[in-house]
Chain A
Amino acid sequence: MANMCPYGHFTHAVVRGIPETFGKKAGDSQENGEVSVDLAKAQRQFGCLTGALRQKVGLQLIEIPPDPELPESWKIEDVAVIHGDTALITRPFKQQRQSEVEAVRRVMSELNLTVVEMDREQGDSVGATLEGSDILFTGREFFVGISSHTNRRGAEVLADTFRDFAVSTVPVCDGARLKNICSMGGPNTIIFSNSDGAKKTLRCWLGARRLCVMLDVRVCLQMMEQLTDHHYDVLTVPEESAANCIYIKGPSKRDFLLHRPADECPDSVSAFQKLQDYTLLPTACSEASKLGASLSSLCLLVNRKHTYF
């Protein structure tokens, strides 16, 4: 349909700087106790990422200045879901994060995107939460990880916003986020982690029975395979951290893949090299990943040259 085109064409990237409060989670700081993050390093890594997006890939970069009041605002992926000329402003799970959306909403409007608010219909979306890091958009359909941060209501709002697409839910649990275990690696390729060691437990539905089973990542993949009408190539990587990449078919029509560098996922780099004719851009993300984020968390990708036909 109108909105359907191969995944990966982007013209703009929206990022938000790393505040000094980086590492302090919004609201409850207790769960963050053990994690020590290097702010300067995080900012350096952020700079590398934005530099790669701008100079290597050739995207127009829009950087929203950091806000110390919003320590997690750099995880900008969570606050909007963009496809075509529609931007759904999400409602993050944590109350404290919900004010992050304002700046993003402004940028979306400036980009002439049709901004859709999650709470436009109060009745429907009461209690709905949705975060972008639980959403995998493949160009043909959405997968929504029903996680601790994203609930079914939220997914319904997403489905209602992007009506052309199938929106399938993939239950995820134990704090995992869908985008942590998979991401797009090409117009038709999903990168999936196959980490035996870190068997992320996922809660899956079996059949239509609500059987909650603890299963590893591969089941999630199977689940997605079962749910989809399409066929995707699956690139499996041995490390979980490597599963989150950013694929962009830049204005130059070349395939770019931003992935974690070899020192962050030594075993997986060879897998990326299988991708032929790709320009691989190793991009460090060690600090952000300590906070449960990953490469894709740091940017929103927009295609303003979207054509409908």
Chain B
Amino acid sequence: MTTEAGSETEVKEKAEESAAEPDQSEKATEDSQEVANAEVEEKEKAKVKEKEEKEGKGISRYLPTWLKKQKSQSQTSPTKEAPPTEEPVSKVTQEEEGPAPEVNGHAEEVEEKEEVKSEQVKEKEAETHSNASADTEPAKEEKVEESAEKSPEETKETAEGEGAEEETKEKEGAVEAEEEAGEGQTSIFQSPLRLVRKNKMKLVVCHVTLLDGTDFTCEVEKRAKGQYLFFKVCEHLNLLEKDYFGLAYQDNHDQKCWLDPTKEIKRQIRSNNWQFAFNVKFYPPDPSLLTEDITRYLLCLQLREDVASGRLPCSFVTHALLGSYTLQAEIGDYEPDQPRPLDFISQLTFAPNQNKEMEEKILELYKSHRGMTPAQADTQFLENAKKLSMYGVDLHHAKDSEGVDIMLGVCANGLLVYKDRLRINRFAWPKILKISYKRNNFYIKIRPGETEQFESTVGFKLQNHRAAKRLWKVCVENHSFFRLNAPEPPTKARFLTLGSKFRYSGRTQAQTRMASSLIDRPAPSFERTSSKRISRSLDGAPMISITEAGRESAENGREPHLELHSDSKVTVVDVSPGDAEAMPSQHSPGSSELGPPQDHDKTQEEVLKHQASISQLKRSFMEAPPPSPPQPNQWEKRLTSSPATIRLQQQQVVSVPQTEAATADNTISDTKEPAKTTEVEIEETVVVQEISRAPKPGLITVAASPPAAPSAEQEMREQEVKVQEEAVVVEEAKPRKEESISSESESEEEAEYHPYLPVSISHTQIPEEKEEEEEQEKQEEDKTAELQVLASDASSLPAEVIQPAEETSREVEESRKEDDTETEKTTNAEEEKEVERETEESTDDPMVTPDEAPNGLTLPEEGVTVMDAQAEEEEEPKMNGEPSLIEAEPLPQVICCSEPPVVKTEMVTISDTFAAQKTEIATKEVPIVHTETKTITYEAAQLDGNGDGEPGVLMTAQTITSESLCTTTTTHITKTLKGGLSETRIEKRIVITGDCDIDHDQALAQAIKEAKEQHPDMSVTRVVVHKETELAEED
């Protein structure tokens, strides 16, 4: 397969090149371009873009913002492309299925996407795509390429019924975007060799010191961005989980700085010293969650260096222990006949103050590790190192407001304040509302504590403004990486005209974990002895061959990456956003992951188990042939014509001028405040640009088990979060536009960062309200003061509140079931747990089966039902989730799918219904919405089995809305007095409603994470995810 793919790629590439040549418009573009921009690059660019478009949302969430940004610039095309994509997609799929029936491969698409080599496959696809679609929409491909000169194509496309704003978007900074995309994308997706070969740019030689002490030299073009070099290094290292790492350089003042991937290298280093160090940038709090041994190995190398240099202080015993694991990993079992083993040990540096005694201790411990594999030794090393109190803490010198010397430590959990070696304060990220710097002052604004009335700002003095800015950046990056689901887009000018726009641009930990859970390549071979110190003592053990190995295999086409790509072609299907929506089967598997952030507090075993089973799930989804995408055009029209598609009871319509679209995030965060009066479980949608765009009313319902729910649930002590999502197919209209923001304009003087503002759906956004809140609700917005019934003796009130909702949802469910029966399709789907079959069916059907028309007919009624239900009491359509909840057995530490992971039902989302009703569409056109419902229950162990839980107290209900996403949280607290110990059980029902392109996983993960943060002393014992993804079909 792989070999095939390789050669094919070559061929197709050529084919495309030649095909593209005669293209008029492209030539025009080229002319206008710099001569230096070789035509090949152009094409590559185009391909890349196209590819990206195809990848669409499915993947986009795994991509760092700097990729997204570029994509969004080229975002224009997705919708336009959508119709034609259909065909090629299925083609591709078939192609794939044939030769590569590899089961595992399918799960990988996420990771491989950003793989350097993946481009080949993608190109191929792009090729197929373009060929296939050539007749339908010839302009499509060119359009991408020539965003610089909009006019002719654009008109064409507009004529095709596209939202006007998208062109505008494209126009904005089109030229820059083009360039950026070209550079950036090529650097990522293109083989660097090729790039170098064909580029006439000035080349510079970069020296990168790797963690094993070796030097990696490569040529980059002078104007290359940081990411280019970084990706080359990662490629050299064969590293996939690269987000934990970064390139550092010394600035003019000998300070270590991180190379910003989105900016040109040249502008950052500010000297002609192209010397970098590859380092760990974010120390994973739990290295055992890393997917690959090679990543752990690199982390070990970094930590060995940290320990040996004293940056990571540890005690004598720990030094000895870590040293012994190092020996075991690097040289294997202790050989008793080895002469004078202490000699070589003393040549190695394990500790800053190494002495004979320590070496003896190291040797003693080393002997005891016999039989341990290098990977195990590394793991043990990390398990010990991660517990060190200074693990992953990045220290910065500062003075407090009284001029006392302190150290500020930035880490995964927050900001630590040290005086000498003593920790004198700690600001966890959730406590921090704002991080800013001004000149050499660094400020954090602190959320008021229980006893305080007002938020306070704490200031520190740094040595100079550079230091302040560096610290600020590190904070922003660490916060984003460890706390956010997705990186926050850079601030928009609207907010701050001054100040740095810097934001973390890579993937967050959540994203990278998600992505790396999909890595499915054979473990890359690498040599550990490459550690310089060690190899020295080991008669120069060869400096190996990571590179060589990699290259060889690449030549053979056996490179693991290639396999990934080929498998991943299936993924291609959801490349364009439009497609992605059409393919809930792909979407939902992803979202079935409860999301890494949740792992934060879980034990490794749980997590691992969890991940394992999830990835299995995912695989099973992936195996199912993707359905053919819908034809969004009609959809679009309908939706655009009927603003009524907004189905939610509460709507916030934010009309954002198109030029301001980029600030959508911010706008939304603003609008949240008014929304605070929302009632329980009302779903709200923020509609940005209502005119040209239908809101995408994907609806995720995270329904925490209501207290009223049967006793089985009540055995689950702590929290249940049930997520239901429905993603409704609407045509792709991406509300978020991002300009190409050049962070170069940032001011050296000041900047601020609101840790929680736009992207995260965190509750911290409206801190002012907090005083009224209950202890437990520290971080929540109290939108529902009226609903906070605080009765400590379990009142029946909440039950009452909830019960009707439950009932309605049952009604809804029943009605739907009936409908289902009619449709003959998946009648029993809910009851039967034939996962695989269902999956396939559901994915296949939309395309193949003729019963869709009947389904379509049933839609209106369903819709009505749903509507009614909603009208009665804003209840999220809970569908299949209900039974699953009840059935959920208290299996400790097991994820039980109490329902088939995919239950195909038919249902209409409310939005659709609206559309259908208002526009009176002919029956034929009534969309068929396939709902994929999935319930996953996760439970922790040790539920102490007294199910005497009273109905809880409804604590809060809140709704948080961001641009594409609406989260409604209802909290019930049940307090039980048992043997003098009061036991509090909190059940949260979180309803996440959102567009198709929200990341449900992350939303859920975030919700869970926040639940944990709000109740740090509690543990999540059960999470029920109920998700519904809908897929509209039109015939």
Contact of A187 with B by CB under 8 A? no
A-B contact pairs, 22 of them (CB 8 A): A1-B388, A2-B384, A3-B317, A86-B316, A141-B389, A156-B420, A162-B315, A163-B314, A163-B318, A164-B314, A164-B387, A167-B421, A168-B422, A168-B423, A207-B425, A208-B458, A209-B400, A209-B401, A226-B431, A229-B389, A273-B979, A274-B979
Contact of B424 with A by CB under 8 A? yes
Contact partners of B419 in chain A: CB under 8 A: 152, 169
Spot the interface stretch: B445-453, B512-520, B721-729.
Answer: B445-453
Q: Which of B95-134 contact A (CB under 8 A)?
A: none
With beta carbons under 8 angstroms apart, the residue of A84, A208, A308 that contacts B401 is A208
Q: How large is the interface on A (under 10, 10 to 19, 20 to 34, 35 or more residues)?
A: 35 or more
Residue of B nearest to A226 (CB): B426
Task: Give the shortest distance, in Å, between A163 (CB) and chain B (any CB).
Answer: 4
Residue of A nearest to B391 (CB): A1
Task: Give the shortest distance, in Å, between A162 (CB) and chain B (any CB).
Answer: 6
CA distance A164 to B322 in the complex (A): 12
B382-426 CB mask vs A (1 if < 8 Å, else 0) is: 001101110000000000111000100000010001011111111
* A86-B422 contact, Cβ under 8 Å, with A165-B389, A273-B980: no
Is B456 a contact partner of A163 (Cβ separation < 8 A)?
A: no
Is A308 a contact partner of B421 (Cβ separation < 8 A)?
A: no
Contact partners of A167 in chain B: CB under 8 A: 389, 421-423
Residue of B nearest to A235 (CB): B981
Is A164 a contact partner of B421 (Cβ separation < 8 A)?
A: no
Is A308 a contact partner of B321 (Cβ separation < 8 A)?
A: yes
**Contact residues of A with B, CB < 8 Å?**
1-4, 84-86, 114, 140-141, 144, 152, 155-156, 159-169, 205-210, 219, 222, 226-229, 231, 233-234, 270-271, 273-274, 276, 308-309
Contact partners of B321 in chain A: CB under 8 A: 1-2, 308-309
Contact of B37 with A by CB under 8 A? no
Is A163 a contact partner of B458 (Cβ separation < 8 A)?
A: no
Known: A1-B388, A167-B422, A209-B458. 4 other contacts (CB 8 A): A4-B387, A152-B420, A205-B424, A226-B449
CA distance A276 to B322 in the complex (A): 37
Contact partners of A155 in chain B: CB under 8 A: 422
CA distance A134 to B979 in the complex (A): 32
Is A208 a contact partner of B423 (Cβ separation < 8 A)?
A: no
CA distance A192 to B385 in the complex (A): 31
Contact partners of B1016 in chain A: CB under 8 A: 231
CA distance A85 to B422 in the complex (A): 22
With beta carbons under 8 angstroms apart, the residue of A164, A205, A308 that contacts B389 is A164
Is A208 a contact partner of B980 (Cβ separation < 8 A)?
A: no
Is A222 a contact partner of B450 (Cβ separation < 8 A)?
A: yes
With beta carbons under 8 angstroms apart, the residue of A1, A85, A114 that contacts B387 is A1
Contact of B332 with A by CB under 8 A? no
Is B422 a contact partner of A208 (Cβ separation < 8 A)?
A: no
With beta carbons under 8 angstroms apart, the residue of B314, B401, B423, B446 that contacts A166 is B423
* A1-B365 contact, Cβ under 8 Å, with A169-B422, A205-B424, A219-B451: no
Contact partners of B365 in chain A: CB under 8 A: 308
Task: Give the shortest distance, in Å, between A211 (CB) and chain B (any CB).
Answer: 10
Is B315 a contact partner of A163 (Cβ separation < 8 A)?
A: yes
Task: Give the shortest distance, in Å, between A295 (CB) and chain B (any CB).
Answer: 22
CA distance A205 to B315 in the complex (A): 29
Contact partners of A227 in chain B: CB under 8 A: 423, 425-426
Contact of B228 with A by CB under 8 A? no
| Number of residues of chain B lying within 8 A (CB) of chain A | 44
Residue of A nearest to B980 (CB): A274
Contact of B335 with A by CB under 8 A? no
Contact partners of B421 in chain A: CB under 8 A: 156, 159-160, 163, 167
Residue of B nearest to A141 (CB): B389
* A1-B384 contact, Cβ under 8 Å, with A219-B451, A227-B423: yes
With beta carbons under 8 angstroms apart, the residue of A114, A219, A226, A231 that contacts B316 is A114
Residue of B nearest to A275 (CB): B981
Contact of B275 with A by CB under 8 A? no
Is B980 a contact partner of A270 (Cβ separation < 8 A)?
A: yes
CA distance A21 to B384 in the complex (A): 47
B450-477 CB mask vs A (1 if < 8 Å, else 0) is: 1100001010100000000000000000
Contact of B3 with A by CB under 8 A? no
Contact partners of A207 in chain B: CB under 8 A: 425, 446, 456, 458
Contact of B34 with A by CB under 8 A? no
Residue of A nearest to B321 (CB): A2
With beta carbons under 8 angstroms apart, the residue of B388, B426, B451, B1017 that contacts A164 is B388
Residue of B nearest to A114 (CB): B316
Q: Which of B285-322 contact A (CB under 8 A)?
A: 313-318, 320-322
Is A222 a contact partner of B449 (Cβ separation < 8 A)?
A: yes
Is B422 a contact partner of A2 (Cβ separation < 8 A)?
A: no
The residue among B365, B401, B423, B428 with the most chain A CB atoms within 10 A of its own CB is B423
Top-10 shortest CB links A-B:
A166-B389, A159-B421, A274-B980, A168-B423, A2-B321, A163-B313, A2-B318, A1-B387, A1-B384, A207-B458
* A144-B980 contact, Cβ under 8 Å, with A2-B317, A162-B315, A208-B400: no
The residue among A207, A270, A274 with the most chain B CB atoms within 10 A of its own CB is A207
Contact partners of B413 in chain A: CB under 8 A: 229
Residue of A nearest to B402 (CB): A210
Contact partners of B320 in chain A: CB under 8 A: 2
The residue among A161, A163, A209, A308 with the most chain B CB atoms within 10 A of its own CB is A163
Contact of B380 with A by CB under 8 A? yes
With beta carbons under 8 angstroms apart, the residue of A3, A85, A168 that contacts B424 is A168
Contact partners of B980 in chain A: CB under 8 A: 270-271, 273-274
Contact partners of A226 in chain B: CB under 8 A: 425-426, 428, 431, 449
Contact partners of A161 in chain B: CB under 8 A: 315
Is B401 a contact partner of A159 (Cβ separation < 8 A)?
A: no
CA distance A160 to B981 in the complex (A): 39
* A208-B317 contact, Cβ under 8 Å, with A270-B980, A274-B980: no
CA distance A117 to B417 in the complex (A): 27
Task: Give the shortest distance, in Å, between B1020 (CB) and chain A (any CB).
Answer: 13
Task: Give the shortest distance, in Å, between B321 (CB) and chain A (any CB).
Answer: 4
Contact partners of B314 in chain A: CB under 8 A: 1, 163-164
Q: Which of B979-1008 contact A (CB under 8 A)?
A: 979-981
Residue of A nearest to B384 (CB): A1
CA distance A273 to B419 in the complex (A): 40
Contact partners of A270 in chain B: CB under 8 A: 980
Residue of B nearest to A308 (CB): B321
Task: Give the shortest distance, in Å, between B812 (CB) and chain A (any CB).
Answer: 39
With beta carbons under 8 angstroms apart, the residue of A3, A209, A233 that contacts B318 is A3
Is A274 a contact partner of B425 (Cβ separation < 8 A)?
A: no
Contact partners of A205 in chain B: CB under 8 A: 424-425
Is B460 a contact partner of A208 (Cβ separation < 8 A)?
A: yes
B479-508 CB mask vs A (1 if < 8 Å, else 0) is: 000000000000000000000000000000
Task: Give the shortest distance, in Å, between B304 (CB) and chain A (any CB).
Answer: 14
Residue of B nearest to A272 (CB): B980
With beta carbons under 8 angstroms apart, the residue of A152, A206, A209, A210 that contacts B422 is A152
CA distance A206 to B457 in the complex (A): 11
Task: Give the shortest distance, in Å, between B20 (CB) and chain A (any CB).
Answer: 56
Is B315 a contact partner of A164 (Cβ separation < 8 A)?
A: yes
Is A208 a contact partner of B406 (Cβ separation < 8 A)?
A: yes
